[in-house]
Amino acid sequence: MTYRLFIAVIACAGLQAQSGLEIETPDRKVSPYVLERLGEADRILFDKLARAPLESVWSQLESRGYAHCFINELDALHPDRRLVGRARTMRYLPTRPDLREEIYAERKQLNYVSAEEAQPGDVLVFDAGGDTRSAVSGEITTVRFLARGGTGLIVDGALRDVPEIAGMPLQVYQRRGQASSVRPNLMSVDYQVPVRIGNVTIRPGDLLLGERHGILVIPAALAEEVVDAALAKQDLESFQRKLLLEGRSIYGVYPPDDDTKREYEESLKGTPSR
């Protein structure tokens, strides 16, 4: 899923160095299976999200007052996959007979319900309060979710069947795995309500952007605007990166002073940047 972007052979006069620096750049895109199932608007949005620099989007959100929007307390199952999706949320509580009975008289466990009702591009978000004594979901319901076009699982708690789930084309976040079913310790209580995952609030419908180090939570109403703003800065950043790899001092280059800006604009005229 990653490819070698370029090998920069740098000739540093005094040192007579022969060797270059090799940097691998992640190449992110939405899987065709999901993409084909998305509506027109989502196809465009998800494609942008797949390409957007996560930290730039964070800056856009933070400047709009979203100070608590990045979850870094869970572990990603796949270090090299990006998560792109839309939140479908569930809240779990420690089990007790009276409430359990009332709830299950009305509907099935929410991992069933959410898998069945998932829309293409959805991410199932399980708030189990960090409890890893029981798993909130496993392989079979996730197969159903996958067939529906699901793209990820976020669990503030535990999943079971972890090796089987690791073999599926999803990104997955959790605290730890667990073999135990949900029954001994937890029950699903609320569906599609705001939940807490690792000290961040996720609302149903939020856009989610995940990498190996965590998940950025983007309110749906802001998604287009913050992603566009982040993408707009990419070309300059590539140019800056190139200068640095050529051995330039960081002062003046990042952030760019007037000279660097001028150089950048000239570079745009000369050659198409990528």
Of 80 and 269, nearer to a second copy (C-beta) is 80
Site membership for a second copy, residue 252 (CB under 8 A): no
162 binds a second copy (CB under 8 A): yes
228 near a second copy, judged by CB under 8 A: no
The verdict on 176 binding a second copy (CB under 8 A) reads yes
Parallel/antiparallel/unpaired status of strands 195-197 and 200-202: antiparallel
The candidate with the shortest Cα–Cα distance to 20, out of 30, 31, 6, is: 6
Q: Is 15 in the site for a second copy (CB under 8 A)?
A: yes
- Give the residue, chosen from 64, 107, 233, 261, that forms a contact with a second copy under the rule CB under 8 A: 64
Q: Left if phi > 0, otherwise alpha if psi is -120 to 50, otherwise beta: which for 48?
A: alpha
Q: Is the CB of residue 10 less than 8 Å from the CB of residue 17?
A: yes
The set of residues, in sequence order, having a beta carbon less than 8 Å from that of 48 and lying 6+ positions away, is 224, 227, 228, 231
96 vs 269, which CB is nearer to a second copy? 96
Task: Say whether residue 192 binds a second copy (CB under 8 A).
Answer: no
Decide if 49 contacts 29 (C-beta within 8 A).
no
Query: Is the alpha carbon torsion for 160, 108, 124, 47 positive or negative?
Result: positive
Residues 107 to 126 in contact with a second copy, rule: CB under 8 A: 108, 112, 115-116
CA dist 250 → 56, 142, 200 (Å): 19, 47, 34
Looking at 123, 136, 146, 226, which residue binds a second copy (CB under 8 A)? 146
Residue closer to a second copy (CB basis): 17 or 44 = 17
Applying CB under 8 A, which part among 44-52, 70-78, 227-235, 260-268 lies near a second copy? 70-78
Cβ neighbours, 10 Å, residue 39: 11
For residue 269 the two structure tokens come to 């005229």
- Regarding 87 and contact with a second copy (CB under 8 A), the answer is no
**Secondary structure (3-state) at 171:** strand
Among residues 192, 211, 227, 260, the one that binds a second copy under rule CB under 8 A: 211
Q: Which is nearer to a second copy, 12 or 105 (CB)?
A: 12
Q: Is residue 167 a contact residue for a second copy (CB under 8 A)? A: yes
